[in-house]
Structure 1
Amino acid sequence: MNKTIHYEIVDQVGIFTIDNGKQNVMSTSMYEPFYQNLCAFLEDDEVKIGILRGSQGRSFCAGDDIKSLERAADLDPDYPMMIQCLNRTKPVIGAVKGWCLGQGLLHLLTLTDIRIATADAKFGFPEIQYGMGGASGATRLGYQIPQTLAMYLLLTGDYYSAQQAKDSFMINEIVDDEKLFPRAMEIARRIARHPLTGITMEMELYQVGMDMQRKQRHSLLRSLYKEHRTAFEKAAGGRKPIEFKPLQQAK
Protein backbone atom coordinates (compact mmCIF):
# COMPACT_ATOMS: atom_id res chain seq x y z
CA MET A 1 0.00 0.00 0.00
CA ASN A 2 1.25 3.49 -0.85
CA LYS A 3 1.80 5.77 2.12
CA THR A 4 2.65 9.11 0.63
CA ILE A 5 1.40 12.38 -0.79
CA HIS A 6 1.84 12.31 -4.56
CA TYR A 7 2.73 15.47 -6.45
CA GLU A 8 2.11 16.23 -10.12
CA ILE A 9 1.79 19.34 -12.27
CA VAL A 10 -1.11 19.95 -14.68
CA ASP A 11 -1.65 23.29 -16.48
CA GLN A 12 0.48 25.29 -14.01
CA VAL A 13 -1.38 23.66 -11.11
CA GLY A 14 0.51 21.60 -8.53
CA ILE A 15 -1.69 18.70 -7.39
CA PHE A 16 -1.01 17.05 -4.01
CA THR A 17 -2.85 13.74 -3.47
CA ILE A 18 -2.96 12.07 -0.05
CA ASP A 19 -2.68 8.31 -0.55
CA ASN A 20 -2.83 6.05 2.51
CA GLY A 21 -5.74 3.65 2.66
CA LYS A 22 -9.47 4.29 2.62
CA GLN A 23 -9.37 7.08 5.21
CA ASN A 24 -6.04 8.60 4.09
CA VAL A 25 -4.52 8.94 7.54
CA MET A 26 -1.16 10.71 7.83
CA SER A 27 1.66 8.35 8.77
CA THR A 28 4.85 9.81 10.19
CA SER A 29 6.82 8.81 7.08
CA MET A 30 4.55 10.95 4.86
CA TYR A 31 5.58 14.32 6.27
CA GLU A 32 9.08 14.45 4.77
CA PRO A 33 8.02 13.88 1.12
CA PHE A 34 5.12 16.28 1.63
CA TYR A 35 7.52 18.97 2.85
CA GLN A 36 9.88 18.36 -0.07
CA ASN A 37 7.02 18.52 -2.57
CA LEU A 38 5.74 21.75 -1.02
CA CYS A 39 9.20 23.29 -1.36
CA ALA A 40 9.38 22.21 -5.01
CA PHE A 41 5.91 23.69 -5.59
CA LEU A 42 6.86 27.03 -4.05
CA GLU A 43 10.18 27.27 -5.90
CA ASP A 44 8.82 26.44 -9.38
CA ASP A 45 7.91 29.66 -11.23
CA GLU A 46 5.94 27.64 -13.79
CA VAL A 47 3.45 26.57 -11.11
CA LYS A 48 1.05 29.21 -9.77
CA ILE A 49 -1.43 27.42 -7.52
CA GLY A 50 -1.92 24.07 -5.79
CA ILE A 51 -4.73 21.62 -5.02
CA LEU A 52 -4.69 19.34 -1.97
CA ARG A 53 -7.03 16.33 -2.11
CA GLY A 54 -7.48 12.74 -0.98
CA SER A 55 -6.92 9.91 -3.44
CA GLN A 56 -9.88 9.23 -5.73
CA GLY A 57 -13.04 8.06 -3.98
CA ARG A 58 -11.50 8.22 -0.52
CA SER A 59 -11.64 10.59 2.44
CA PHE A 60 -9.58 13.78 2.47
CA CYS A 61 -7.70 12.84 5.66
CA ALA A 62 -9.02 11.24 8.84
CA GLY A 63 -6.10 12.47 10.95
CA ASP A 64 -2.80 11.00 12.07
CA ASP A 65 -2.03 7.30 11.83
CA ILE A 66 -2.30 6.26 15.48
CA LYS A 67 0.18 3.43 14.92
CA SER A 68 2.89 5.93 13.97
CA LEU A 69 2.17 8.58 16.61
CA GLU A 70 4.74 7.20 19.04
CA ARG A 71 7.42 7.88 16.43
CA ALA A 72 6.18 11.37 15.54
CA ALA A 73 7.81 12.99 18.57
CA ASP A 74 11.17 11.60 17.48
CA LEU A 75 11.13 13.20 14.02
CA ASP A 76 14.37 15.05 13.34
CA PRO A 77 14.02 17.38 11.60
CA ASP A 78 10.46 18.17 12.70
CA TYR A 79 8.78 18.11 9.29
CA PRO A 80 5.22 18.83 10.52
CA MET A 81 6.46 22.05 12.14
CA MET A 82 8.60 22.93 9.11
CA ILE A 83 5.54 22.56 6.87
CA GLN A 84 3.55 24.98 9.01
CA CYS A 85 6.40 27.51 9.08
CA LEU A 86 6.90 27.64 5.30
CA ASN A 87 6.57 31.09 3.75
CA ARG A 88 3.73 29.99 1.48
CA THR A 89 3.47 32.58 -1.30
CA LYS A 90 1.18 30.52 -3.55
CA PRO A 91 -2.46 29.63 -2.83
CA VAL A 92 -3.72 26.08 -2.33
CA ILE A 93 -7.27 24.84 -2.92
CA GLY A 94 -8.58 22.12 -0.61
CA ALA A 95 -10.82 19.48 -2.24
CA VAL A 96 -12.52 17.65 0.63
CA LYS A 97 -14.53 14.44 0.53
CA GLY A 98 -15.51 12.31 3.51
CA TRP A 99 -13.59 12.64 6.75
CA CYS A 100 -11.48 15.70 7.53
CA LEU A 101 -10.50 15.08 11.14
CA GLY A 102 -7.82 15.87 13.69
CA GLN A 103 -4.52 16.70 12.05
CA GLY A 104 -6.23 16.42 8.67
CA LEU A 105 -8.19 19.49 9.70
CA LEU A 106 -5.66 21.31 11.87
CA HIS A 107 -2.51 20.65 9.84
CA LEU A 108 -3.68 20.02 6.27
CA LEU A 109 -6.95 21.88 5.75
CA THR A 110 -5.53 25.01 7.40
CA LEU A 111 -2.79 25.01 4.74
CA THR A 112 -5.44 25.75 2.12
CA ASP A 113 -6.95 29.09 1.12
CA ILE A 114 -10.05 28.13 -0.89
CA ARG A 115 -12.04 24.99 -0.02
CA ILE A 116 -14.52 22.88 -1.95
CA ALA A 117 -16.27 19.92 -0.30
CA THR A 118 -18.75 17.19 -1.10
CA ALA A 119 -22.01 16.84 0.82
CA ASP A 120 -20.70 13.83 2.77
CA ALA A 121 -17.69 15.73 4.15
CA LYS A 122 -17.37 15.83 7.94
CA PHE A 123 -15.03 18.04 9.95
CA GLY A 124 -13.98 17.55 13.54
CA PHE A 125 -11.40 17.06 16.24
CA PRO A 126 -12.14 13.74 18.00
CA GLU A 127 -8.75 13.66 19.77
CA ILE A 128 -10.21 15.60 22.70
CA GLN A 129 -12.10 12.41 23.61
CA TYR A 130 -8.76 10.70 24.28
CA GLY A 131 -7.20 13.59 26.19
CA MET A 132 -5.00 14.70 23.29
CA GLY A 133 -4.36 18.39 22.60
CA GLY A 134 -4.27 20.17 19.27
CA ALA A 135 -0.51 20.09 18.73
CA SER A 136 -0.49 23.83 17.85
CA GLY A 137 -3.06 23.43 15.10
CA ALA A 138 -5.81 24.86 17.30
CA THR A 139 -4.36 28.36 17.02
CA ARG A 140 -4.37 28.19 13.22
CA LEU A 141 -8.01 27.13 13.19
CA GLY A 142 -8.84 30.11 15.41
CA TYR A 143 -7.31 32.46 12.84
CA GLN A 144 -9.60 31.14 10.12
CA ILE A 145 -13.05 30.83 11.70
CA PRO A 146 -14.75 32.64 14.61
CA GLN A 147 -13.48 31.70 18.07
CA THR A 148 -16.82 30.34 19.25
CA LEU A 149 -17.02 27.90 16.34
CA ALA A 150 -13.39 26.84 16.66
CA MET A 151 -13.69 26.20 20.39
CA TYR A 152 -16.91 24.22 19.94
CA LEU A 153 -15.19 21.86 17.51
CA LEU A 154 -12.03 21.58 19.60
CA LEU A 155 -13.73 21.02 22.96
CA THR A 156 -16.79 18.89 22.16
CA GLY A 157 -15.32 16.38 19.73
CA ASP A 158 -18.49 16.75 17.63
CA TYR A 159 -18.44 16.75 13.84
CA TYR A 160 -19.55 19.51 11.51
CA SER A 161 -21.39 18.54 8.35
CA ALA A 162 -20.42 20.11 5.05
CA GLN A 163 -23.34 22.53 5.35
CA GLN A 164 -22.34 23.52 8.89
CA ALA A 165 -18.77 24.04 7.69
CA LYS A 166 -20.00 26.26 4.87
CA ASP A 167 -22.23 28.24 7.23
CA SER A 168 -19.16 28.70 9.47
CA PHE A 169 -17.06 29.96 6.53
CA MET A 170 -14.71 26.98 6.89
CA ILE A 171 -15.38 26.01 3.26
CA ASN A 172 -16.49 27.96 0.18
CA GLU A 173 -18.70 25.54 -1.76
CA ILE A 174 -20.46 22.18 -1.62
CA VAL A 175 -20.53 20.14 -4.84
CA ASP A 176 -21.49 16.66 -6.01
CA ASP A 177 -18.80 13.99 -5.70
CA GLU A 178 -18.05 13.83 -9.41
CA LYS A 179 -17.65 17.62 -9.58
CA LEU A 180 -15.19 17.96 -6.69
CA PHE A 181 -11.88 17.80 -8.54
CA PRO A 182 -13.18 19.41 -11.77
CA ARG A 183 -14.48 22.38 -9.77
CA ALA A 184 -11.17 22.70 -7.91
CA MET A 185 -9.33 22.64 -11.25
CA GLU A 186 -11.73 25.20 -12.71
CA ILE A 187 -10.94 27.67 -9.92
CA ALA A 188 -7.22 26.86 -10.07
CA ARG A 189 -7.05 27.51 -13.82
CA ARG A 190 -8.91 30.79 -13.36
CA ILE A 191 -6.32 31.95 -10.82
CA ALA A 192 -3.41 30.59 -12.88
CA ARG A 193 -4.35 32.96 -15.72
CA HIS A 194 -3.00 35.84 -13.63
CA PRO A 195 0.68 36.84 -13.45
CA LEU A 196 2.56 34.99 -10.73
CA THR A 197 3.84 38.29 -9.34
CA GLY A 198 0.30 39.44 -8.59
CA ILE A 199 -0.64 36.13 -6.97
CA THR A 200 2.41 36.04 -4.70
CA MET A 201 1.95 39.69 -3.75
CA GLU A 202 -1.63 39.10 -2.62
CA MET A 203 -0.59 36.00 -0.66
CA GLU A 204 2.30 37.71 1.09
CA LEU A 205 0.33 40.85 1.91
CA TYR A 206 -2.52 38.82 3.38
CA GLN A 207 -0.47 36.34 5.39
CA VAL A 208 2.26 38.64 6.68
CA GLY A 209 0.04 41.70 6.98
CA MET A 210 -2.38 39.93 9.31
CA ASP A 211 0.24 40.10 12.07
CA MET A 212 1.25 43.72 11.44
CA GLN A 213 0.04 47.07 12.64
CA ARG A 214 -1.45 49.55 10.16
CA LYS A 215 1.75 51.51 9.42
CA GLN A 216 3.75 48.31 9.02
CA ARG A 217 1.18 46.92 6.58
CA HIS A 218 1.29 50.13 4.55
CA SER A 219 5.09 50.04 4.41
CA LEU A 220 5.00 46.40 3.29
CA LEU A 221 2.41 47.25 0.63
CA ARG A 222 4.58 50.00 -0.85
CA SER A 223 7.69 47.82 -0.82
CA LEU A 224 6.01 44.83 -2.44
CA TYR A 225 4.22 47.00 -4.99
CA LYS A 226 7.50 48.53 -6.19
CA GLU A 227 9.21 45.14 -6.28
CA HIS A 228 6.43 43.42 -8.22
CA ARG A 229 5.86 46.35 -10.58
CA THR A 230 9.54 46.24 -11.57
CA ALA A 231 9.33 42.47 -12.13
CA PHE A 232 6.14 42.86 -14.19
CA GLU A 233 7.62 45.53 -16.46
CA LYS A 234 10.75 43.45 -17.00
CA ALA A 235 8.72 40.36 -17.92
CA ALA A 236 6.39 42.39 -20.16
CA GLY A 237 9.20 44.07 -22.08
CA GLY A 238 8.60 47.49 -20.59
CA ARG A 239 4.78 47.41 -20.83
CA LYS A 240 3.34 48.97 -17.70
CA PRO A 241 0.52 47.38 -15.70
CA ILE A 242 -2.75 49.13 -15.03
CA GLU A 243 -1.87 52.09 -12.84
CA PHE A 244 -2.32 51.48 -9.14
CA LYS A 245 -1.53 54.06 -6.48
CA PRO A 246 -0.98 52.85 -2.91
CA LEU A 247 -2.77 54.69 -0.14
CA GLN A 248 -1.15 57.82 1.24
CA GLN A 249 1.23 57.38 4.15
CA ALA A 250 -0.72 56.58 7.30
CA LYS A 251 -0.68 59.39 9.81
Structure 2
Amino acid sequence: MSDEEFLVDRHGPVTVLTLNRPQARNALNGSLIAGIGATVLEAEQDSGTRALVLTAAGDRAFCAGMDLRAFSGGEDVGFSDTPENRAFQRLTRGAVEVPVVGAANGTAVGGGLELLLGCDLIVAADTAKFGLPEVQRGLFPGGGGTYIAERVPLGIALQLTLTGEFFSAARGYEIGLINAVVPAGQVLDTALAFAERIAANGPLGVAACKELVRLSVTDPERAAERLRHWQGVVFASADAKEGALAFMEKRDPVWQGK
Protein backbone atom coordinates (compact mmCIF):
# COMPACT_ATOMS: atom_id res chain seq x y z
CA MET A 1 0.00 0.00 0.00
CA SER A 2 1.27 3.43 -0.83
CA ASP A 3 1.70 5.64 2.23
CA GLU A 4 0.41 8.48 0.09
CA GLU A 5 -2.96 6.80 -0.46
CA PHE A 6 -3.74 6.24 3.20
CA LEU A 7 -2.57 8.32 6.16
CA VAL A 8 -2.66 7.55 9.88
CA ASP A 9 -2.12 10.23 12.53
CA ARG A 10 -2.31 10.07 16.29
CA HIS A 11 -3.88 12.78 18.44
CA GLY A 12 -3.44 11.47 21.98
CA PRO A 13 -6.01 8.68 22.45
CA VAL A 14 -7.59 9.40 19.03
CA THR A 15 -6.36 7.88 15.77
CA VAL A 16 -7.19 9.73 12.54
CA LEU A 17 -7.49 7.70 9.32
CA THR A 18 -7.36 9.75 6.12
CA LEU A 19 -8.31 8.48 2.67
CA ASN A 20 -5.76 10.22 0.48
CA ARG A 21 -6.78 9.64 -3.15
CA PRO A 22 -8.41 12.99 -3.95
CA GLN A 23 -7.58 12.61 -7.65
CA ALA A 24 -9.82 9.50 -7.63
CA ARG A 25 -12.46 11.06 -5.37
CA ASN A 26 -11.03 8.86 -2.60
CA ALA A 27 -12.54 5.75 -4.20
CA LEU A 28 -11.83 2.51 -2.36
CA ASN A 29 -9.26 0.25 -3.97
CA GLY A 30 -7.79 -2.91 -2.50
CA SER A 31 -4.82 -1.32 -0.75
CA LEU A 32 -6.99 1.39 0.79
CA ILE A 33 -9.48 -1.15 2.14
CA ALA A 34 -6.68 -3.31 3.51
CA GLY A 35 -5.08 -0.28 5.14
CA ILE A 36 -8.31 0.76 6.82
CA GLY A 37 -8.86 -2.80 8.04
CA ALA A 38 -5.33 -3.09 9.39
CA THR A 39 -5.65 0.20 11.27
CA VAL A 40 -8.98 -0.90 12.76
CA LEU A 41 -7.38 -4.13 13.99
CA GLU A 42 -4.48 -2.21 15.54
CA ALA A 43 -6.87 0.20 17.26
CA GLU A 44 -8.93 -2.64 18.74
CA GLN A 45 -5.78 -4.25 20.15
CA ASP A 46 -4.39 -1.01 21.60
CA SER A 47 -5.95 -0.02 24.91
CA GLY A 48 -4.54 3.47 24.44
CA THR A 49 -6.73 4.08 21.38
CA ARG A 50 -10.09 5.29 22.62
CA ALA A 51 -11.65 6.57 19.38
CA LEU A 52 -11.13 6.73 15.62
CA VAL A 53 -11.80 9.58 13.20
CA LEU A 54 -12.31 8.65 9.55
CA THR A 55 -11.83 11.46 7.05
CA ALA A 56 -10.51 12.12 3.55
CA ALA A 57 -8.26 14.50 1.65
CA GLY A 58 -9.47 17.18 -0.73
CA ASP A 59 -12.62 19.26 -0.73
CA ARG A 60 -14.67 17.59 -3.47
CA ALA A 61 -15.41 14.13 -2.15
CA PHE A 62 -15.23 12.16 1.06
CA CYS A 63 -15.47 8.89 -0.86
CA ALA A 64 -17.03 7.89 -4.18
CA GLY A 65 -17.35 4.26 -3.12
CA MET A 66 -15.69 1.32 -4.83
CA ASP A 67 -12.93 2.04 -7.34
CA LEU A 68 -14.58 0.55 -10.42
CA ARG A 69 -11.33 0.66 -12.38
CA ALA A 70 -9.63 -1.47 -9.73
CA PHE A 71 -12.62 -3.83 -9.56
CA SER A 72 -12.83 -4.27 -13.32
CA GLY A 73 -9.10 -4.96 -13.37
CA GLY A 74 -9.54 -7.91 -11.05
CA GLU A 75 -8.18 -6.26 -7.93
CA ASP A 76 -9.41 -7.55 -4.58
CA VAL A 77 -11.59 -4.71 -3.31
CA GLY A 78 -12.51 -6.18 0.02
CA PHE A 79 -14.20 -9.42 -0.98
CA SER A 80 -11.54 -12.00 -0.06
CA ASP A 81 -11.54 -13.53 3.42
CA THR A 82 -8.61 -11.79 5.10
CA PRO A 83 -8.41 -10.30 8.61
CA GLU A 84 -8.09 -6.81 7.10
CA ASN A 85 -11.10 -7.22 4.83
CA ARG A 86 -13.17 -8.66 7.65
CA ALA A 87 -12.25 -5.68 9.84
CA PHE A 88 -13.23 -3.28 7.05
CA GLN A 89 -16.57 -5.05 6.66
CA ARG A 90 -17.18 -4.79 10.40
CA LEU A 91 -16.50 -1.07 10.09
CA THR A 92 -19.22 -0.70 7.46
CA ARG A 93 -21.64 -2.54 9.78
CA GLY A 94 -20.82 -0.34 12.77
CA ALA A 95 -19.33 -3.33 14.58
CA VAL A 96 -15.84 -1.98 15.31
CA GLU A 97 -15.09 -2.13 19.03
CA VAL A 98 -13.67 1.40 19.10
CA PRO A 99 -16.05 4.37 18.60
CA VAL A 100 -15.72 5.89 15.12
CA VAL A 101 -16.46 9.48 14.11
CA GLY A 102 -16.89 10.14 10.39
CA ALA A 103 -15.59 13.48 9.10
CA ALA A 104 -17.11 14.03 5.65
CA ASN A 105 -15.08 16.79 4.04
CA GLY A 106 -17.07 16.45 0.81
CA THR A 107 -19.67 14.44 -1.06
CA ALA A 108 -20.30 10.79 -0.17
CA VAL A 109 -22.43 8.64 -2.43
CA GLY A 110 -22.97 4.91 -2.81
CA GLY A 111 -20.20 3.07 -1.00
CA GLY A 112 -18.90 6.36 0.37
CA LEU A 113 -22.13 6.95 2.25
CA GLU A 114 -22.17 3.28 3.29
CA LEU A 115 -18.76 3.83 4.86
CA LEU A 116 -20.12 6.79 6.83
CA LEU A 117 -23.14 4.75 7.95
CA GLY A 118 -20.73 2.48 9.79
CA CYS A 119 -19.50 5.42 11.87
CA ASP A 120 -21.10 6.17 15.22
CA LEU A 121 -21.19 9.94 14.71
CA ILE A 122 -20.97 11.92 11.47
CA VAL A 123 -19.70 15.46 10.94
CA ALA A 124 -20.23 16.91 7.46
CA ALA A 125 -19.16 19.93 5.47
CA ASP A 126 -22.07 22.25 4.71
CA THR A 127 -21.33 21.88 0.98
CA ALA A 128 -21.38 18.06 0.97
CA LYS A 129 -23.98 15.98 -0.84
CA PHE A 130 -25.06 12.44 -0.05
CA GLY A 131 -26.99 9.69 -1.76
CA LEU A 132 -27.53 6.02 -2.49
CA PRO A 133 -28.14 6.15 -6.27
CA GLU A 134 -27.64 2.43 -6.99
CA VAL A 135 -31.23 1.81 -8.12
CA GLN A 136 -30.70 4.36 -10.90
CA ARG A 137 -28.08 1.97 -12.30
CA GLY A 138 -30.12 -1.19 -11.91
CA LEU A 139 -28.45 -2.13 -8.63
CA PHE A 140 -29.11 -1.65 -4.92
CA PRO A 141 -26.88 -0.41 -2.06
CA GLY A 142 -25.51 -3.86 -1.28
CA GLY A 143 -22.59 -2.72 0.88
CA GLY A 144 -24.77 -1.82 3.85
CA GLY A 145 -26.71 1.15 2.51
CA THR A 146 -30.03 -0.53 3.23
CA TYR A 147 -29.12 -0.35 6.91
CA ILE A 148 -29.81 3.37 6.71
CA ALA A 149 -33.19 2.52 8.23
CA GLU A 150 -31.32 1.99 11.49
CA ARG A 151 -30.39 5.68 11.48
CA VAL A 152 -33.42 7.48 10.01
CA PRO A 153 -37.21 6.92 9.97
CA LEU A 154 -38.40 4.05 7.77
CA GLY A 155 -40.29 6.24 5.31
CA ILE A 156 -37.26 8.42 4.71
CA ALA A 157 -34.98 5.38 4.35
CA LEU A 158 -37.32 3.98 1.71
CA GLN A 159 -37.51 7.30 -0.11
CA LEU A 160 -33.73 7.64 -0.29
CA THR A 161 -33.06 4.07 -1.39
CA LEU A 162 -36.01 3.68 -3.80
CA THR A 163 -35.49 6.99 -5.60
CA GLY A 164 -31.71 7.21 -5.37
CA GLU A 165 -32.04 10.96 -4.88
CA PHE A 166 -29.24 13.07 -3.48
CA PHE A 167 -29.65 15.14 -0.33
CA SER A 168 -27.72 17.95 1.31
CA ALA A 169 -25.80 17.92 4.56
CA ALA A 170 -28.49 20.16 6.06
CA ARG A 171 -31.16 17.61 5.10
CA GLY A 172 -29.02 14.85 6.60
CA TYR A 173 -28.94 16.77 9.85
CA GLU A 174 -32.71 17.30 9.77
CA ILE A 175 -33.41 13.57 9.45
CA GLY A 176 -30.97 12.66 12.20
CA LEU A 177 -28.32 11.03 10.04
CA ILE A 178 -25.64 13.71 10.56
CA ASN A 179 -24.64 14.99 13.98
CA ALA A 180 -23.07 18.31 12.97
CA VAL A 181 -22.86 20.42 9.80
CA VAL A 182 -20.00 22.91 9.71
CA PRO A 183 -17.92 24.82 7.13
CA ALA A 184 -15.53 22.52 5.29
CA GLY A 185 -12.48 23.91 7.06
CA GLN A 186 -13.94 22.99 10.46
CA VAL A 187 -14.95 19.38 9.72
CA LEU A 188 -11.86 17.63 11.06
CA ASP A 189 -11.55 19.82 14.15
CA THR A 190 -15.22 19.25 14.99
CA ALA A 191 -14.87 15.50 14.52
CA LEU A 192 -11.75 15.47 16.69
CA ALA A 193 -13.60 17.38 19.40
CA PHE A 194 -16.34 14.72 19.41
CA ALA A 195 -13.75 11.93 19.47
CA GLU A 196 -11.81 13.54 22.32
CA ARG A 197 -14.99 13.94 24.37
CA ILE A 198 -15.71 10.24 23.85
CA ALA A 199 -12.11 9.27 24.64
CA ALA A 200 -12.23 11.17 27.94
CA ASN A 201 -14.97 8.88 29.27
CA GLY A 202 -14.69 5.48 30.93
CA PRO A 203 -13.78 2.96 28.21
CA LEU A 204 -15.93 0.15 29.60
CA GLY A 205 -18.99 2.40 29.81
CA VAL A 206 -18.34 3.67 26.27
CA ALA A 207 -18.04 0.11 24.96
CA ALA A 208 -21.29 -0.85 26.67
CA CYS A 209 -23.14 2.17 25.22
CA LYS A 210 -21.83 1.57 21.69
CA GLU A 211 -22.95 -2.05 21.66
CA LEU A 212 -26.23 -1.72 23.55
CA VAL A 213 -27.57 1.35 21.76
CA ARG A 214 -26.97 -0.26 18.36
CA LEU A 215 -28.48 -3.57 19.49
CA SER A 216 -31.55 -1.80 20.87
CA VAL A 217 -32.38 -0.87 17.27
CA THR A 218 -31.33 -4.04 15.46
CA ASP A 219 -31.95 -6.83 18.00
CA PRO A 220 -33.82 -5.81 21.18
CA GLU A 221 -33.81 -9.34 22.64
CA ARG A 222 -30.05 -9.62 22.27
CA ALA A 223 -29.74 -6.10 23.72
CA ALA A 224 -31.56 -7.25 26.87
CA GLU A 225 -29.16 -10.17 27.23
CA ARG A 226 -26.09 -8.03 26.73
CA LEU A 227 -27.45 -5.39 29.13
CA ARG A 228 -27.24 -7.94 31.94
CA HIS A 229 -23.70 -8.80 30.90
CA TRP A 230 -22.54 -5.20 30.82
CA GLN A 231 -24.23 -4.39 34.14
CA GLY A 232 -22.08 -7.04 35.81
CA VAL A 233 -18.90 -5.93 34.06
CA VAL A 234 -19.16 -2.15 34.31
CA PHE A 235 -20.75 -1.55 37.70
CA ALA A 236 -18.28 -3.88 39.43
CA SER A 237 -15.25 -2.44 37.64
CA ALA A 238 -12.33 -0.48 39.05
CA ASP A 239 -13.25 2.31 36.64
CA ALA A 240 -16.71 2.63 38.20
CA LYS A 241 -15.10 3.13 41.60
CA GLU A 242 -12.58 5.57 40.11
CA GLY A 243 -15.35 7.57 38.43
CA ALA A 244 -17.20 8.03 41.70
CA LEU A 245 -14.03 8.85 43.64
CA ALA A 246 -12.84 11.36 41.04
CA PHE A 247 -16.24 13.07 41.13
CA MET A 248 -16.11 13.43 44.91
CA GLU A 249 -12.50 14.62 44.83
CA LYS A 250 -13.27 17.06 42.00
CA ARG A 251 -10.52 15.79 39.70
CA ASP A 252 -10.25 14.10 36.33
CA PRO A 253 -10.58 10.31 36.54
CA VAL A 254 -7.72 8.03 35.58
CA TRP A 255 -9.23 5.13 33.64
CA GLN A 256 -7.76 1.63 33.54
CA GLY A 257 -10.31 0.02 31.23
CA LYS A 258 -11.09 -2.65 33.82
Q: What's the TM-score once normalised by structure 1's chain length?
A: 0.83
Identity of aligned residues (%): 24
Which residue is equivalent to 1:189? 196
Gaps of 5+ in 1: 243-251
Which residue is equivalent to 1:246? none
Structure 1 moving runs of 4+ over 6 Å: none
1:30-49 pair list within 5 angstroms: 30-49=32-51
Which residue is equivalent to 2:178? 171
Moved more, 23-32 or 203-212: 203-212
Which residue is equivalent to 1:83? 88
Which residue is equivalent to 1:112? 119
Deviation by residue 1:43-81 (Cα, 9 ceiling, x = unmatched): 211011111111154521122111022334784226655
Aligned residue for 1:60, secondary structure, equals strand
Alpha-carbon distance in structure 2 between the residues aligned to 1:45 and 1:74: 26
Aligned pair partner of 1:50 in 43, 49, 52? 52
Aligned pair partner of 2:65 in 63, 66, 83? 63
Which residue is equivalent to 2:254? none
1:1-251 pair list within 5 angstroms: 4-22=5-23, 23-70=25-72, 71=74, 72=76, 75-77=79-81, 82-85=87-90, 87-106=95-114, 108-214=115-221, 216-233=222-239, 236=242
Count of aligned residue pairs for this structure pair: 240
Aligned-residue offset at 1:196: 1.1
Query: CA 1:3/1:148 → structure 2, altered by over 3 Å: closer, same or farther?
Result: farther
Does the CA-based 8 Å contact 1:41-1:47 persist in structure 2? yes
Aligned-residue offset at 1:236: 4.4
Deviation by residue 1:88-131 (Cα, 9 ceiling, x = unmatched): 2221111112210110111x101111111111110012332222
Q: What is the root-mean-square deviation of aligned Cα atoms in Å?
A: 2.8
Query: CA 1:204/1:75 → structure 2, altered by over 3 Å: closer, same or farther?
Result: closer
Does the CA-based 8 Å contact 2:30-2:78 persist in structure 1? no
Which residue is equivalent to 1:249? none
Aligned-residue offset at 1:8: 2.3
Aligned residue for 1:85, secondary structure, equals helix
Supply the AA of the counterpart residue of 2:152: I
Does the CA-based 8 Å contact 2:29-2:77 persist in structure 1? no
Deviation by residue 1:22-57 (Cα, 9 ceiling, x = unmatched): 421111332112111111112211011111111154
Which residue is equivalent to 2:253? none
Aligned residue for 2:181, secondary structure, equals strand
Aligned-residue offset at 1:195: 1.6
Q: What's the TM-score once normalised by structure 2's chain length?
A: 0.81
Supply the AA of the counterpart residue of 1:93: V
Does the CA-based 8 Å contact 1:93-1:116 persist in structure 2? yes
Does the CA-based 8 Å contact 2:132-2:145 persist in structure 1? no
